[in-house]
């Protein structure tokens, strides 16, 4: 246990630590593994000579719970955990989740809603003047004004609502070290305004000489169109090379976002992943059943960060960025060999990847000196002419991993970009993937089949996915394999009408696929899709976008994806009648559902004629009729 970071006064006494440099308050259980942000940040600081202690999931109703390690010399660090606490707690239907894989035993309710705000303010109750630095995905994606789905409102920067002095946003290894060294040098936290990858508050307009002035928070509240344009300005300044400083005004206070930190070099990435992690949850959790989240990553390998895929519903652009960062083969192979010595290892490496498994280098050479393009995507709507499509490095890595003694199988389970595979004229990677790295089923995410909806998703046209399906099936046939594709689709994304949802249902019918689970669009902070959901505008073009917000319409779109389930029949029939697709109700091979003998004619009759619930449902259906007519 002595090699874990201190978590109690007893640990400090045993190690003869009179005062820690930093105390890290986290919303997750303490897992000392490089797939957990708190572990990376703590170990990076430790490698630079700073001492760090962990307070995991403190009692947010008791200020004393954040004082158990004493007052740190330099400051507190705060993170909600590996997930936004609101996403962690609530389904897209805003129902409370019953479990939390980042908590011992999977128990729910061990962290507060909006954990960054609650923890930071809890610290301030006991320590009025100590520096507090917020980080992690919750703080990163809420660093400026943002739409909050759970309150259906535009909320202020989290920095305005919590007691923190700074936000270290994105992958914070560089910024946290620079902040720590500045504090250690005696610089007051209010004067730390110069660190890339950070946000700060100020009333001093002298520090805003080169900043892009975003609309004020009051202006954003008054006009959703201004929020759309402000959001897109932020989106266009997420690159460390060409990104600019941004400022957002709240009365006399400005929240200032410095440009992102520079990406880590390969040597720096290797160094981060070679730090002395215990690679386990803290042993104090053993009696509680351990921490479920470790099971997914214990025998997986991170090979890259960042993604130039540019999906509109994904927040990676704001968090990890579009610039690819990779670890060396040597670093990854060394970690894999270390895995084989684990008594729990059964010979199976569960994944080798990152946000997108088959990206192993920047999309083009121009990015290295000019940064990513502000006005175009690398893969959408079609691959950029400058895109360098090359899987050879990844293929070499996978082949090397398969040769390690004790490794029986290496799976690729994190997402692959099928359009990138299709753009590769060399089928070597696809052949290797099908032959060695699929466990009977390959999961891919076309998300939809309507080209109009796909354009809102930032995904390629449906014909690109069909091309991949053919290539995959042909390769399986060539190799004598019997393996399948499991496509993931999304309902109710901005731009998706009932007609589009029906089109998707017909496609699922034709390929004889019934999804076991349905993913409804979840408007999480800092994505283009969420901006569309809130404003009804595409921030890229400022054109209006249809947004399915009505809960009943969303239920119909979900039901259409599982049209054969008996419990979905009435919703499917409603949707088909509203869209005037009664041709899909019948006994023919193309029909989605059969007629219901006892159903009366007219809108909403499957719910009864006279009840107040039925009358309310009829009003809802009439409104949906108007929107789709």
- 41-59, pLDDT tens digit by residue? 999 999 999 999 999 999 9
Residues in the chain: 629
Report H helices in 258-384: 266-273, 294-297, 316-319, 329-340, 367-370
Output the 3-class SS for 202-225.
ECCHHHHCCCEECCCHHHHHHCHH
In angstroms, the CA 367 to CA 496 distance is 33
207 or 360, higher pLDDT = 360
In angstroms, the CA 37 to CA 81 distance is 7
| HSE of 391, CA atoms in CB hemisphere, 13 A | 25
- 369-396, pLDDT tens digit by residue? 999 998 889 999 999 999 999 999 999 9
Q: Evaluate whether 483 touches 474 at the Cβ level (below 8 Å).
A: no
- Mean pLDDT over 293-316 rounds to 95
- Mean pLDDT over 572-597 rounds to 95
Q: Which fold has domain 9-196?
A: Rossmann fold (3.40.50)
3-state secondary structure of 78: strand
In angstroms, the CA 419 to CA 379 distance is 8
In angstroms, the CA 321 to CA 263 distance is 9
- 422-441, pLDDT tens digit by residue? 999 999 999 999 999 998 99
What is the domain partition of the chain in residue ranges?
Answer: 9-196, 299-439, 497-629
**In the predicted structure, residue 601 carries a pLDDT above the cut 50:** no
- Mean pLDDT over 623-628 rounds to 63
- 342-352, pLDDT tens digit by residue? 999 999 999 99
Confidence (pLDDT) at 135:
98
**In the predicted structure, residue 414 carries a pLDDT above the cut 90:** no
- pLDDT-based confidence at residue 624 (cuts at 50, 70, 90): low
For the CA atoms of 63, 65, 68, 70, what is the dihedral angle to 10 degrees? Answer: -30
3-state secondary structure of 76: strand
In angstroms, the CA 173 to CA 296 distance is 23
In angstroms, the CA 263 to CA 48 distance is 19
Q: Rounded to 5 degrees, what are φ and ψ at 384?
A: -65, 145
Report H helices in 153-309: 158-161, 173-184, 217-222, 224-235, 266-273, 294-297
Q: Please report the beta strands in 291-415, taking only residues with DSSP state E, as ranges in sequence order.
A: 300-302, 304-305, 325-326, 348-349, 351-353, 409-410
Share of the chain above pLDDT 90, in %: 91
Q: What is the CATH number assigned to the segment(s) 299-439?
A: 3.30.750.210
**In the predicted structure, residue 40 carries a pLDDT above the cut 80:** yes
């Amino acid at each position: 246990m002595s090699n874990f970071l201190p978590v109690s006064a007893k640990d400090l006494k045993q190690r003869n630590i009179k005062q820690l440099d930093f105390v890290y308050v986290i919303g997750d259980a303490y897992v000392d593994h490089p797939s957990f942000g708190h572990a990376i940040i703590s170990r990076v600081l430790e490698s630079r000579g700073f001492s760090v202690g962990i307070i995991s999931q403190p009692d947010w109703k008791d200020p004393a719970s954040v004082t158990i390690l004493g007052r740190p010399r330099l400051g507190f660090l705060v993170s909600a955990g590996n997930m936004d606490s609101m996403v962690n707690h609530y389904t897209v239907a805003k129902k409370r989740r019953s479990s939390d894989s980042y908590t011992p035993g999977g128990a729910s309710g061990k962290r507060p809603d909006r954990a960054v705000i609650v923890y930071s303010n809890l610290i301030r109750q006991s320590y009025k003047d100590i520096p507090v630095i917020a980080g992690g995905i919750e703080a990163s994606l809420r660093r400026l004004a943002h739409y909050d789905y759970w309150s259906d409102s535009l909320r202020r920067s989290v920095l305005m609502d919590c007691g923190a002095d700074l936000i270290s946003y994105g992958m914070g290894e560089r910024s946290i070290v620079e902040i720590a060294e500045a504090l250690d040098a005696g610089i007051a936290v209010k004067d730390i305004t110069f660190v890339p990858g950070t946000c700060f508050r100020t009333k001093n307009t002298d520090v805003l000489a080169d900043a892009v002035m975003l609309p004020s928070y009051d202006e954003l509240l008054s006009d959703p169109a201004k929020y759309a344009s402000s959001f897109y300005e932020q989106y266009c300044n997420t690159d460390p090379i060409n990104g600019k400083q941004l400022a957002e005004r709240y009365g006399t206070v400005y929240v200032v976002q410095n440009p992102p930190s520079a990406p880590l070099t390969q040597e720096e990435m290797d160094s981060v992943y070679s730090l002395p992690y215990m690679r386990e949850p803290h042993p104090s959790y053993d009696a509680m059943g351990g921490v479920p989240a470790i099971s997914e990553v214990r025998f997986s390998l991170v090979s890259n960060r960042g993604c130039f895929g540019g999906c509109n519903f994904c927040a990676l652009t704001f968090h990890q960025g579009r610039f690819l960062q990779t670890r060396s083969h040597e670093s990854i192979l060394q970690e894999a060999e270390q895995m084989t010595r684990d008594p729990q290892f059964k010979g199976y490496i569960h994944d080798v990847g990152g946000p997108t498994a088959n990206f192993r280098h920047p999309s083009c050479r121009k990015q290295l000196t000019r940064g990513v393009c502000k006005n175009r995507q690398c893969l959408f709507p079609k691959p950029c002419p400058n895109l360098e499509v090359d899987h050879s490095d990844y293929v070499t890595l996978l082949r090397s991993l398969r040769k390690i003694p004790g490794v029986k199988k290496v799976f690729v389970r994190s997402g692959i970009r099928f359009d990138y595979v299709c753009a590769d004229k060399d089928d070597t990677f696809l052949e290797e993937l099908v032959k060695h790295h699929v466990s009977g089923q390959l999961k891919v995410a076309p998300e939809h089949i309507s080209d109009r909806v796909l354009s809102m998703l930032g995904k390629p046209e449906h014909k690109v996915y069909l091309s991949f399906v053919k290539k995959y099936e042909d390769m399986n046939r060539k190799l004598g394999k019997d393996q399948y594709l499991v496509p993931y689709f999304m309902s109710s994304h901005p731009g998706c009408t009932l007609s589009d949802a029906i089109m998707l249902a017909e496609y699922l019918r034709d390929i004889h696929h019934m999804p076991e689970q349905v993913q409804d669009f979840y408007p999480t902070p800092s994505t283009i899709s969420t901006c569309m959901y809130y404003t009804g505008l595409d921030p890229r073009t400022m054109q209006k976008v249809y947004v399915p917000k009505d809960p009943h319409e969303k239920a119909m779109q979900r039901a259409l994806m599982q049209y054969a389930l008996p419990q979905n029949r009435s919703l499917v029939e409603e949707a088909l009648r509203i869209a005037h697709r009664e041709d899909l109700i019948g006994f023919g091979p193309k029909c989605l559902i059969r007629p219901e003998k006892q159903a009366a004619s007219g809108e909403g009759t499957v719910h009864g004629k006279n009840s107040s619930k039925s009358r309310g449902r009829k009003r809802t259906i009439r409104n949906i009729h108007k929107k789709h007519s």
